[in-house]
Structure 1
């Protein structure tokens, strides 16, 4: 991917000069042309009958034991570890120690609040919990008793951007308006903030902190990369479905037409949305990875990293609302909504009086969503509620609804008011479909009208009408939706759902899910079992895991040599560059090699110029400082003296406007150092050119061809053997040996096996097809084994 960004060598400050140049061309004329289109509301139109979607469908794994229906039954509940509603699938492991846990969250208050409840639950087990999110929520987090770390980013700007571009995918309108440039800067700031949150001391107390585990929501983006750099476990949690499934499409995908194989089309929609998101942000993430000493993520791997690496995932919605899809693996759980302890609230007299004056009102609010024209929306809400004869409580929110001064007796405007108290006083709720508001409304049996900006889950459960896209909202459809919610049967459905949810404990089950997926055996010290291991020590062929305290005690009493300690990796994350076929694999490796050579060739000339400019700027700054000193030291009325002595004993010559400073004698040395740096920079660029050439021609391109050849059987539905992952030269020899010996054997066997299997399944035609598969398998596997072994 072409990068349009640059960052400082420290990795702390990122500057972006322009939006990614490839984004618009990729959408309009690239490999997704004719397959997708970004709509006015920021969702993505996906054509399931396009060639690209059909090609991707070939890689969708088969599910042989489940029917591909649109909905599965909720899990059976039982009493487990004190919870009255724990799914049987979550079996918590025994817990023996305490961890430093950082929770990384990007989004609005509705996104942050569930993780506050989670953090409080984790604290009950003795963990130190740090919640890293936007600076705006510092007081909210600290008041809840959690440690806070600011990651930057303005959530109001973020939510305004998401109204136009749900899912962080920029529309053409946003590109033209320059919104994407601001968003990219914000993402870069948040990436670095999330990294610092894993390592920096507490900003208030100075207490040191190093994370032992990470919990994050997907839009924080930094999670996998921080976990990889630190070698610690990661657990993702979210309020929207973000894992590929056949049961439903991605919440940001709009399937344009019906498909004969709806399940596979749904599955592919997740990959398409992730591909488009990565297209806009991948270069920023890779620039930041370079700053924390990680290799760049290949373009083909970035979009679906969480699924490829099998990162544990917990979804915090009620399984009585949407059950866990049948094709999600065991390490993905649906645990229930996360509810905090209801805060103490004493409503103002004005609110009490309004509630007493008439029937229960409806609640209308859009929370932290920033709306372009709040006055127009306020007028629409006033007229609609008055026309159908209902009272309303309207939350001002971040958009400031009702700030125009247009009031009516049947409406009251609210500022901050806890939903836990408020939703027990209303007959229905109208909101944007945020998870926190959705959960609270259902918890208290409120029929719900969703005006979605980026997702909802209500209509399918029967607790509200079909959602109304915000840009389609008008007096007529809002009135019909409110009338629907006021039906008795809808209210009954909402109350039944509230009863089911009352038996759930989503936060407790999320903690159980987190524990279940932790590598407990590799996480703690072998001597102080309640302390997380941070060091490894090998002695007599045995590896010991040591906490910081254990290592210090053993070293103090001469039981080990500090120089023999190595950092302990409790959870290793390896991002492989998988190849799908020899053509695309070889081509991508060649492009990467050429890009590296081009960058290095450019550095031969660019780096010296940058160093020269920096030296010139530094010299001008020193001269300017000297001039200022002279002006400060000069004495009025004595300018006739050519030489004077200042207070520090340095001789000045006012006519030459310079100081006879001993530091001036080092100027030539500094110039010599600059010349030496320029020469080294040029030589480094030249060395990089030949390094990229040699690595690409003799290693990367041949290995890409070998791996691509080995993957060919996957294109026609066969399994491809996994010979292991190359981590170093030893594992490389093992993999190449297996690839040569086993690959050659499999290729020879396929010459016989494939025709037999094809003939047995489909007769003569299948036999002929099997012959073709057999020869193709023999050719690709043998060439792969030979090429891999030669170049490893």
Structure 2
């Protein structure tokens, strides 16, 4: 059997696909991963024995190009991404029995289109419940299409979301459909999501609530087994004193990255703590030559988070889950899309705090750290760690094999 995993997004989108690829291969499946050609993605996939099939431009370059463009030209960006992803996925999907997609909406739409053209099954994956329609939560807004803040009926809001997706993505998608000989799409959301998507999120950390309009299958989070040792210099820093506070914002660029590093370090020092500063896409760095701070690049979060007093981060699905699995209290500085959701979950579970807005100040971060560093927060975080499932990718792999087998049955 052959399965193509299609993803266009940040490290947080690619990493779970690597986990799924590992588990599929253990079941004897040949796996291809179609992803942006960023060097770090290729290295990460190669590290688990998976070859990256490049699609489009590196995602960092895509973000730089799309960022300054006016909202009214957004459809041009959509069309370009859709075309690039379709070309790459169509070539990589030859001989495959299934396409699994996640990431930016145009890229998932392209993968769905390839699967339709080739007559093979397609499955969408979401990494947090808020991406999928439900009466229990609001949708998030798209560029230039804000949702009314005074409207509280979630079913009405999700109907607006359907309309907004058609307005934003419908034109480029249907132009593409016509170009490859496929019929037009009436509802972009229904076409891309299907009526049975997978939810690759932990059921304790991010539960899917029923009833809902879709038959969502929650597998648990997809976590890559990681036995990489921490660098000797980092281990020496960890061993030299009390547990430090980690700060890193992953794939977020953080427009005020220099201020973000200063604010974080000052807030951490205000609590008498040492700091580990992760560079990430924001290129965070140290603010002085104090020996109470240590800079890190790529590192094994599963190992590192078990050694820290708290984790300050942007609230990505992967970072939130790994911190929860390690029993580390969290402070979330949400920037966009799913990150406010994870912030709410961290506070609801009592394992940390969330900032009200994307730009931290020394005062706001210090107040949040006071909550995260409290003994009762550490106790709750330790208790939560024992409930986090680590078999999500294995569960998903078996479900996908069942999907292929059903599709091959006659009639």
- Same fold per superposition (TM over 0.5): yes
Indicate the residue corresponding to 1:556 in structure 2.
none
| Cα drift, residue 160 of structure 1 | 6.0
Q: Distance in 2 between the 1:425 and 1:254 partners?
A: 41
Match of 1:273 among 146, 161, 176: 161
Q: Distance in 2 between the 1:406 and 1:181 partners?
A: 43
| Cα drift, residue 138 of structure 1 | 2.5
What TM-score results when the alignment is normalised by the length of structure 2? 0.87
Indicate the residue corresponding to 2:254 in structure 1.
371
- Native 8 Å contact 2:97 2:404 kept in 1: no
Indicate the residue corresponding to 1:287 in structure 2.
175
Match of 2:379 among 471, 475, 492: 492
| Cα drift, residue 191 of structure 1 | 2.4
Alpha-carbon displacement from aligned partner over 1:474-524 (angstroms, at most 9, x marks no partner): 11111111110111111111111110115x5111122233345x2634425
Q: Distance in 2 between the 1:391 and 1:275 partners?
A: 49
C-alpha distance 462-286 of structure 1, shift in aligned 2 (>3 A)? same
Alpha-carbon displacement from aligned partner over 1:529-578 (angstroms, at most 9, x marks no partner): xxxxxxxxxxxxxx8xxxxxxxxxxxxxxxxxxxxxxxxxxxxxxxxxxx
Q: Distance in 2 between the 1:401 and 1:121 partners?
A: 34
Listed as ranges, the gaps of 5+ residues in structure 1 are 1-97, 163-173, 202-207, 260-264, 527-542, 544-792
SS of match in other structure, 2:14: helix
- Native 8 Å contact 2:4 2:96 kept in 1: yes
Report the RMSD for the aligned CA atoms in angstroms: 2.7
SS of match in other structure, 1:132: strand
Alpha-carbon displacement from aligned partner over 1:14-42 (angstroms, at most 9, x marks no partner): xxxxxxxxxxxxxxxxxxxxxxxxxxxxx
| Cα drift, residue 132 of structure 1 | 0.5
SS of match in other structure, 1:369: coil
Match of 1:320 among 185, 204, 223: 204
| Cα drift, residue 401 of structure 1 | 1.0
SS of match in other structure, 1:247: coil
Q: Distance in 2 between the 1:430 and 1:436 partners?
A: 13
Q: Distance in 1 between the 2:154 and 2:333 partners?
A: 23
Alignment of 1:204-215 (within 5 A): 209-215=94-100
Match of 2:87 among 190, 196, 212: 196
C-alpha distance 129-104 of structure 1, shift in aligned 2 (>3 A)? same
Match of 1:245 among 134, 155, 158: 134
| Cα drift, residue 346 of structure 1 | 4.2
SS of match in other structure, 1:191: helix
Indicate the residue corresponding to 2:306 in structure 1.
424
| Cα drift, residue 390 of structure 1 | 1.6
Larger Rg: 1
SS of match in other structure, 2:198: strand
Indicate the residue corresponding to 1:344 in structure 2.
228
Indicate the residue corresponding to 1:150 in structure 2.
54
Indicate the residue corresponding to 2:191 in structure 1.
305
- Native 8 Å contact 2:275 2:292 kept in 1: yes
Listed as ranges, the gaps of 5+ residues in structure 2 are none
Match of 1:396 among 268, 279, 287: 279
C-alpha distance 521-277 of structure 1, shift in aligned 2 (>3 A)? closer
Alpha-carbon displacement from aligned partner over 1:48-106 (angstroms, at most 9, x marks no partner): xxxxxxxxxxxxxxxxxxxxxxxxxxxxxxxxxxxxxxxxxxxxxxxxxx2x2111111
User: Are 1:406 and 2:288 matched, yes or no?
Assistant: yes
| Cα drift, residue 306 of structure 1 | 4.2
Count matched residues.
Answer: 395
- Native 8 Å contact 1:150 1:193 kept in 2: no
Alpha-carbon displacement from aligned partner over 1:402-421 (angstroms, at most 9, x marks no partner): 17x63433222211111122
| Cα drift, residue 448 of structure 1 | 0.9
Alignment of 1:719-758 (within 5 A): none
| Cα drift, residue 319 of structure 1 | 0.7
What TM-score results when the alignment is normalised by the length of structure 1? 0.47
Q: Distance in 1 between the 2:48 and 2:361 partners?
A: 39
User: Are 1:138 and 2:20 matched, yes or no?
Assistant: no
| Cα drift, residue 182 of structure 1 | 7.8
